[in-house]
Amino acid sequence: MDLDELYQEVILDHYKRPRGAGLREPYEGESHQVNPTCGDEITLRVHVKGDRVADVSYENVGCSISKASASVLYELVHDTTVDDALARLAEFTELMNSKGQSDGDEETLEDAVAFAGVSKYPMRVKCALLGWMAFKDALVRAEAETGGSRP
């Protein structure tokens, strides 16, 4: 087991100093997700303005992987277009399902490539994806709330 690969400095840093944490107003979509195997939880809000994700805010309890992943998610998708955010979601999900076969594109995924090692640990992939599932769900709810005005 190469623990250094799993617990990279970048991950531990996001875990110890989470970016964008806390629930904020305004928001159009909110999602609550739990990991039934370990009881980890996240509540995540999305504030959409036009075609942009103006803010993502969250409160969570969980392991280092799930907490660091939410922090990295915040960095990647807040203040970006909805389309870019969805592209990052797809990329990160693919990386997590790669079973260690992908390094991820640092150009687009930035700090999130540190999670490449997590994809080798099937028991931990769900931890890394918890926040992203909440983001996906909150975004759908936000679009429903705003009448799906996006083209």
Partner 1 sequence: MEAVSKLDVEAIRADFPILQRRIGDKPLAYLDSAATSQKPVQVVDAMRRFTDHSNANISRSVHTLGAEATEAYEGARARVAAFIGAPSADEVVFTKNSTEAINLLAYAFQNAALDPHADPRFRLAPGDEIVVTEMEHHANLIPWQQLALRTGATLKWIGITDHGRLDLEAVPEVITERTKLVSFTHVANLLGTVNPTSQITARAREVGALVGLDASQSVPHIPVNVADLGVDFIAFTGHKMLGPTGIGVLWAKADLLDAMPPFLTGGSMIKTVTMEKTTFAEAPAKFEAGTPPIAEAVGLAAAVDYLDALGMENVRAHEKELAGYMLERLESVDGLTVIGPRVPIGRGATVSFTFADIHPHDVGQILDAEGIAVRVGHHCAKPTCDRFGVNATTRASGYVYNTHEEIDRLVAALAQVRKVFG
* Closest to partner 1 by CB, 39 or 151: 39
* Closest to partner 1 by CB, 9 or 25: 9
The residue among 114, 29, 14, 103 whose CA lies nearest residue 62 is 14
Q: Whole-number minimum distance, CB 15 to partner 1, in Å?
A: 8
CB-based burial of residue 26 (10 Å sphere; 0-12 exposed, 13-18 middle, 19+ buried)? exposed
Which residues contribute to the site for partner 1 (CB under 8 A)?
1, 3, 6-7, 12, 37-41, 61-65, 121, 124, 127
Q: Whole-number minimum distance, CB 41 to partner 1, in Å?
A: 8
Task: Say if residues 52 and 128 touch (Cβ distance below 8 Å).
Answer: no
Q: Whole-number minimum distance, CB 127 to partner 1, in Å?
A: 6
Angle in degrees, 0-180, between the axes of helices 122-145 and 64-77, rounded to the nearest 10: 40
Q: Whole-number minimum distance, CB 118 to partner 1, in Å?
A: 10
* Closest to partner 1 by CB, 22 or 39: 39
> Sign of torsion, CA 25 26 31 35?
negative
